[in-house]
Structure 1
Amino acid sequence: MGPARLILACRSEARGLAAIQHLKESTGYEKAELMLVELSQFSSVKAFADKVEAEVENLDLLVLNAAIIATSFEVTEDVYEKSLQVNNLSLDLVSLRLLPKMLETAAIRTETP
């Protein structure tokens, strides 16, 4: 599709950089960049959304496909069961935090000259 900018949001820097390298090697696309976010921490999700809000001019598409499978009960520092926070609450939080940017982008894209 050749986007002007593609951001991969990952919790692991090593895996994120490997994904970007694989993307370059398999498609030739070289504009991908990495932003770190830990979905099991609301503070990280908020910081990520703030960074996108500040640094990204247009947000045309947001893919929310992160998930974990919990093999044991674990509580996050925000006092939620980890899979609930990662798979649901944090994805909802980031989408709600970035919705104004997406609406702003949609308004720009649909303005008549």
Structure 2
Amino acid sequence: MPKITYLVPDGTAHIVDVPVGQSVMDGSVRNNLPGIVAECGGSCSCATCHVHVDPEYAELFDTATDEERDLLEYAEDVDERSRLSCQLIVNAACEGARVVVPDSNG
């Protein structure tokens, strides 16, 4: 199981085993990490799971869809690293990937 590091709004880092095929959002929600609200449960319809993906890990995930990019327009603290964690599906190559939950989520 790949280990994903979540840097949450209070500045702490949490390393979580996330099964291949699950989303980065699932890993956070199942471990009760603060900051990723996931109001829609992962259906890509709310943008409450906004994260920043460290640049060196961005290519490990599929490219953002038009729907995801549209939703990110409604999130705060959006930049070129912004993604919805419900759309970041973990694969074996994601070992060590790191995401930052923006302060605006917490």
Normalised TM-score (structure 1)? 0.27
Please identify the structure whose Cα radius of gyration is greater. 1
Higher strand share: 2
- Of structures 1 and 2, the one scoring higher in RCO (CA 8 A, sep 6+) is 2
More helix as a share of residues: 1
TM, length-normalised to structure 2 = 0.29
